[in-house]
Amino acid sequence: MTPSVATVHSLIPLSLLEAIRNLDTPLDDGLNELANETVSKRLGLSATVGQQIERYRDDALRKLPVSLDEAVSVFRLVGRRPDATLVYSDAGRRAARHAAQAAGIGTKVLLGVTPRPFRRRFGARTASQVARRLLALDLDVSRGAPRVRLGESLATLAGFPGTGCYFYSAVFAELLRVASGFEGAMVHERCHAKGDDHCFWRAAEAGGYE
């Protein structure tokens, strides 16, 4: 996201709320009777969150963005939770998969019929295009390992740099995985939460990134 962007794709708040609901859903472990008293208190299972999820899904299908302020408020809602890092990570992966689906990336075909070095290069470029077009994020794949530099982001605007950066670590790694078969992580080398003037990630994979 760049400071000049006044709106955000509805896929981002959609993914955040879906992740909240996912983390707040009780496990089917035979202890549901004990959980019934607290289920109604879980935000992710509330009618309000359910209605907002449906609204954002509809907005995504109609390609309607949401205001930056609204997206920041949802991002801040997650940051206040004790399990915020888990929610942000889940949301990042969901946002990447939603974006890839919206962009029509045929990953099974791509990954199954193209040579590995080619699909890495082609897939990384595809991931970069999707990140820019649907998420307003810059994934630099022009040289070496894919990298990301963010000055201002939803994490900084919401007041949760560091914790909120788990969303970005997850969204970029998942986009690369879906589009190119990347298996690894986006290493967060610089962060606003550490006093740096920007956040910086670099893709790292066992054996190196082709």
Could you report the per-residue pLDDT of 65-106, keeping only the tens digit for each?
999 999 999 999 999 999 999 999 999 999 999 999 998 875
SS3 174: helix
Q: Which whole-number Å values give the CA distances from 180 to 31, 113, 148, in the listed order?
A: 40, 12, 17
* Burial (CB count within 10 angstroms: exposed 0-12, middle 13-18, buried 19+), residue 36: exposed
DSSP for residue 9 = -
Q: Which overall architecture, per CATH, does domain 7-204 show?
A: Alpha-Beta Complex (3.90)
Q: Among the residues of 80-190, which ranges form H helices?
A: 84-103, 107-113, 116-135, 154-158, 165-180
Q: Which residues of 121-154 are buried (b: 16+ CB within 10 A; e: fewer)?
A: eebbbbbbebbeebbbbebebeeebbbbebeebb
Percent of the chain surpassing pLDDT 90 = 67
pTM assigned to the model: 0.86
Q: pLDDT confidence of 38, banded at 50, 70, 90?
A: very low
Percent of the chain surpassing pLDDT 70 = 81
Q: Provide φ and ψ at 186, rounded to 5°.
A: -95, 110
